[in-house]
Amino acid sequence: DQQVKQNSPSLSVQEGRISILNCDYTNSMFDYFLWYKKYPAEGPTFLISISSIKDKNEDGRFTVFLNKSAKHLSLHIVPSQPGDSAVYFCAASSQGGSEKLVFGKGTKLTVNP
């Protein structure tokens, strides 16, 4: 039951270029979406989120885009830095009383110097 899908297990980009990580979801009840970043031996760290009433949210080098009709969101990192190398998880929740997050499998981003 993959309600949140990250179809690319890995992505490699050059330092300074744009990284685009994609996420698709199937549950139309999801209305809040989050991106987490995870380094080895650490827990997921919150990066950025977006509510379904918006189609874009920006925080510094990180921008999340939401396309509700396509049930698709993406995370853009510009410019990418070697320290961004980590596993990125997309997560979703439905705000109608549930507090749980449903995660994708993650995309391992490698930013090469």
Partner 1 sequence: EPEVTQTPSHQVTQMGQEVILRCVPISNHLYFYWYRQILGQKVEFLVSFYNNEISEKSEIFDDQFSVERPDGSNFTLKIRSTKLEDSAMYFCASSDEGVYGYTFGSGTRLTVV
Q: Per-residue contact track with partner 1, 56 to 75, x per CB under 8 A?
A: --------------------
Residue 17 Cβ vs partner 1, minimum distance, rounded to whole Å: 27
- How far is it, in rounded angstroms, from Cα 68 to Cα 47? 20
Question: DSSP secondary-structure letter at 7?
Answer: -
Q: If we measure between CA atoms, which residue out of 28, 24, 33 comes closest to residue 6? A: 24
Residue 14 Cβ vs partner 1, minimum distance, rounded to whole Å: 27
- How far is it, in rounded angstroms, from Cα 7 to Cα 99? 25
Residue 6 Cβ vs partner 1, minimum distance, rounded to whole Å: 9
Q: Is 53 in the site for partner 1 (CB under 8 A)?
A: no
**Angle formed at CA 66 by CA 64 and CA 68, multiple of 5 degrees:** 170
Q: Is 49 in the site for partner 1 (CB under 8 A)?
A: yes
List residues near partner 1 by CB under 8 A: 4, 32, 34, 36, 41-46, 49, 89, 91, 93, 95, 98-106
